[in-house]
Structure 1
Amino acid sequence: MASAAYHQASVTLQPRCYFSSSCVNQQNGITSISLIPKGVKLDIALTARGCYSTTVPDPVLSPSSGTSSEAKKKSSNAFVKFVEHGESMWNEKNLFTGCVDVPLTKKGVEEAIEAGKRISNIPVDMIYTSSLIRAQMTAMLAMTEHRRKKVPIILHDENEQARVWSQIFSKDTKKQCIPVVTAWQLNERMYGELQGLNKQETADRYGTEQVHVWRRSYDTPPPNGESLEMCAERAVAYFKEFIQPQLLSGKNVMIAAHGNSLRSIIMYLDKLTSQEVISLELSTGIPMLYIFKEGRFIRRGSPVAPTEAGVYAYTKSLAQYRQKLDEMFQS
């Protein structure tokens, strides 16, 4: 399906060097990569550092379009992947978890790995997670399935000494790492006095209707906790201030977080109403893919599987990135 979509475009791009912070060790002196067997070819000139851009130029643009900043902006896009953490130990026990820091179960580990398989051919330059271990475990496990085999490295920013001590001095090692930024603003919403209580026992005590309001309404918080509206205020503000600028610069981002913090951000991206967002359901192990292009977010749903050609036909750059990986790692 992907090949059929791109064989129609018979364009050869002239050699040009594109830079990004995403690098890979080059072996055997490779200096160009043929991406589309039938007519569409992209030659990437490599620098001495061996960098290539994961923001692949659009082959539909002709070489005569020039190299103006406007043309470059229109020729690239970035991707953002949302991954809800796998099942946690308190999920398994049917307890309200909220901001309590509990790890994944065996099932949760498997769900995280499955999520990684679904995005194994989609570029990732930066990872953002909440400060909670279940989200961080999900991100780490998901990246073990990515074909680039880069190692996630959590950036320490609590104080100057931590930043100094956690520096990586090897340039070769830096090329094989993906930075991971943790942020409490991406945490699950705080359930207040419900945290640690059994959900069924709580419904029996306070009534099913009241618990449903606490869990599913937009602006009614549980006792001493956060409403979805309050969670959205911090999660969306963080996304706008820190993550969206990375997308604007061409970085491809994965966000591993929680049901309510992710729903909050998706509400912003899809311009959902407060009524629409409360019915939005996310599944563990099923990532959501968005394309960021020309200042707009376009939802592409979930990749079905790493071998499903259809998901890579969503954009030319995804199809090209996948074929680039095939060329690099073919036996």
Structure 2
Amino acid sequence: MAQLIIVRHGQSVWNLENRFTGMTDVDLTPLGREEAKQAGILLKPYNFEIAFTSVLRRAIETLNIILRECDKIRIPVFGSPALNERHYGDLQGLNKKQTELKYGEQQFLLWRRSYDVAPPHGESLKDTRNRVVPYYQKEIESKLKAGKNILISAHGNSLRALMMYMENISPEEIPNITLATGVPRVYEFDQDMKVLKVFNL
């Protein structure tokens, strides 16, 4: 029975500043590094054998801290832009509160939380799902089927897209679902890749 663990990176500098981050490659804050360390402590009893990450440094650093805490720095690690955060286009770098005041709550929520509405020159969650899920199916699912336990360190939207696929979450439901930074979420599968159990640590 394989296990998959997903972790959203620890708090980033732009999370702290309440900015749209997206594909911008920003660092973790000291709190973000502490969140990653705590995630590693929680994951120490878990026997994951392979890790995947986006190619953005906040996810990579989160993964590296977790691996050090778990004494697993020698396991294979694969990075891919397919797991990167959703691209927020023209909104990247903008303060979320100021953006909401400028464009109104309805437009702000459509850009930020809807499934299929993209901000100008950016990606919708649907677009994000269309790159995350094929990568998962090709590179990760087969390893889970082979009985390998896997850890993924990525981002709020790329992981929410993956949750939609694994948990059969509808486009109508997904706007109400969030992932906290640095909180591991564990999936247990049967041999047919049906989710038997899912829980947060």
Instruction: With the length of structure 2 as denominator, give the TM-score of the two structures.
Output: 0.97
Distance in 2 (CA, whole Å) between partners of 1:273 and 1:95 is 27
2:165 to 268, 275, 288: 268
Correspondence for 1:283: 180
Correspondence for 1:180: 77
Correspondence for 1:33: none
1:189 to 68, 86, 91: 86
Distance in 2 (CA, whole Å) between partners of 1:263 and 1:301 is 15
2:127 to 230, 234, 248: 230
Q: Which has the higher contact order (CA 8 A, sep 6+)?
A: 2
Cα RMSD (Å): 0.9
Cα 1:271/1:218, change in 2 over 3 Å: same
Correspondence for 1:73: none
| Larger proportion of helix | 2
Percent identity, aligned pairs only, is 43
Letter of the aligned partner of 2:197 in structure 1?
R
Letter of the aligned partner of 2:64 in structure 1?
M
Aligned with 1:301: secondary structure? strand
1:150 Cα deviation from its structure 2 partner = 2.4
Correspondence for 1:299: 197
Distance in 1 (CA, whole Å) between partners of 2:182 and 2:101 is 30
Is the Cα–Cα contact under 8 Å of residues 187 and 199 in structure 2 kept in the other structure? yes
Letter of the aligned partner of 1:150 in structure 2?
K
1:218 to 95, 107, 115: 115
Instruction: With the length of structure 1 as denominator, give the TM-score of the two structures.
Output: 0.59
Distance in 1 (CA, whole Å) between partners of 2:72 and 2:46 is 13
Correspondence for 2:9: 85
Letter of the aligned partner of 1:123 in structure 2?
N
Aligned with 2:55: secondary structure? coil
Following superposition, which runs of at least 4 residues in structure 1 exceed 3 angstroms of deviation?
Answer: none
Aligned with 1:275: secondary structure? coil
Aligned with 2:66: secondary structure? helix
Give the number of the structure whose alpha-carbon radius of gyration is greater.
1
Correspondence for 1:322: none
Distance in 1 (CA, whole Å) between partners of 2:11 and 2:187 is 24
| Bigger shift: residues 275-284 or 94-103 | 275-284
1:125 aligned to 2:49?
A: yes
Structure 1 gap segments, 5+ residues each: 1-76, 152-176, 304-331
1:112 aligned to 2:43?
A: no
Aligned with 2:77: secondary structure? strand
Structure 2 gap segments, 5+ residues each: none
Letter of the aligned partner of 1:87 in structure 2?
Q
Aligned with 2:41: secondary structure? helix
Is the Cα–Cα contact under 8 Å of residues 11 and 182 in structure 2 kept in the other structure? no
Distance in 1 (CA, whole Å) between partners of 2:165 and 2:100 is 31
